[in-house]
Structure 1
Amino acid sequence: MSEVVISRFSEGDVQGVVDVILPIQREEFGIPITAADQPDLRDIPGFYQVGSGDFWVAKVAGTVVGTIGLKDIGEGQAALRKMFVAEAWRGREFGVAAALLKGLLAEATARGIREVYLGTTAKFLAAHRFYEKNGFVEVGADTLPDRFPRMAVDTKFYRITLT
């Protein structure tokens, strides 16, 4: 089996990112969304790779199998966005999701981020368990920072405080 390699997003990764994210959103979870509906996917460097934010991909043999973004929202806070792992690469045996999240949290801490928030849909039950196992605590929508980039489909929200 090939090794999973986590790297910072580069322009050559655009199609791989879309190829991982869209099928999960549309086919797995029935969310009627397109790449055009997600302007952040059209300009990952301009949306994520500014301030203390960034975007990473997990690759196996050069193919993108996972994504994760950190959106700097100011005042030592950030939003975790676009965490997706292709179905064939999910699970503890591959460790793709854990590696992506561990890398993001380490980078966020090193960059001075104190709190990371995320929004997800009620449908992503496995994601809820994953975030909770990794130290995220569910919070009410009314406690989100005003600058948090809330998506219309998000109904559950989480926060982790970094040290």
Structure 2
Amino acid sequence: MIDSKIRIDRYAQGDEQGIVEMIVPIQREEFGINISAKEQPDLMAIQTFYQTGAGDFWVARCEDGVIGSIGLKDIGNGEAALRKMFVAAPWRGRKYGVARQLLECLLEAAQRRGLQRIYLGTTANFLAAHRFYEKHGFELVEKNALPASFPLMAVDTRFYVLRCQR
């Protein structure tokens, strides 16, 4: 039986292995992206990559271990990039609300930290992700509208922005 006692915590040193073991199989098996943990150095340097400036990183966990993640990368000028949002397949959907909880945590932190805009990139075929982001106020933007400091990923072809409320 799946334990529904889900917690959202700030990343802490020692979480790396659980994060990698959740993210890489999703990228490779579900999304068909031929990538390894070694090709994502941010996953082994979360503190120095994400937890600087207005940035941060959170994990969703339960008795099963790490079941979700979300990162906020400070890119300067009151702007940030939403990165590494993943939820393990058994924990997706409204029943558990893991993605919603992760995003709410990130948005509350962004508000407290005075961010003005949050950008994200995704691929064209992740229709459920598009609906999720749009439902939560993200608007589609053209690639050329992204700030120069936005960390572009080669696989991303669809981009969104959320203008934070003041």
Establish whether TM, by shorter chain, passes 0.5.
Answer: yes
Residue number in structure 2 paired with 1:9: 11
The separation in 2 between residues aligned to 1:97 and 1:110, in whole angstroms, is 20
Q: Does 1:109 align with 2:79?
A: no
Can you give the 5+ residue segments of structure 1 that lack an aligned partner in the other structure?
Answer: none
Instruction: Output the CA distance in 2 between the equivalents of 1:17 and 1:5.
Output: 15
TM-score by length of 1: 0.98
Letter matched to residue 33 of structure 1: I
Tell me the equivalent position of 2:146. 144
SS at match of 2:124: coil
| Residue number in structure 2 paired with 1:90 | 92
Identity %: 60
Counterpart of 1:31 in structure 2 is: 33
The C-alpha deviation readout for 1:14-45, integer Å capped at 9, x for no partner, is 01100111111000011011111111112010
Q: Root-mean-square deviation (CA), in Å?
A: 0.9
Post-superposition offset of 1:66? 0.1
User: CA separation in 2, counterparts of 1:2 and 1:137?
Assistant: 31
Counterpart secondary structure, 2:103: helix
Amino acid in structure 1 at the alignment position of 2:163: T
Q: 1:53 aligns with which of 51, 55, 74?
A: 55
Question: Is 1:73–1:148's contact at 8 Å kept on the other side of the alignment?
Answer: yes
CA offset digits 1:31-90 (Å, max 9, x no partner): 011111111112010100000100000001261000000000011000000000000000
Secondary structure of 2:74's partner?
strand
Counterpart amino acid of 1:64?
A: V
Give the distance between the partners of 2:123 and 2:154, measured in 1 at CA: 9
* TM-superposed deviation, 1:123: 2.5
User: Secondary structure in 1 aligned to 2:4?
Assistant: coil
For residue 104 of structure 1, what is the amino acid of its counterpart? L
C-alpha contact (below 8 Å) 2:4/2:96 kept by paired residues: no
Deviation at 1:115, TM superposition (A): 0.3
Give me the TM-score of the superposition, normalised by structure 2. Answer: 0.96
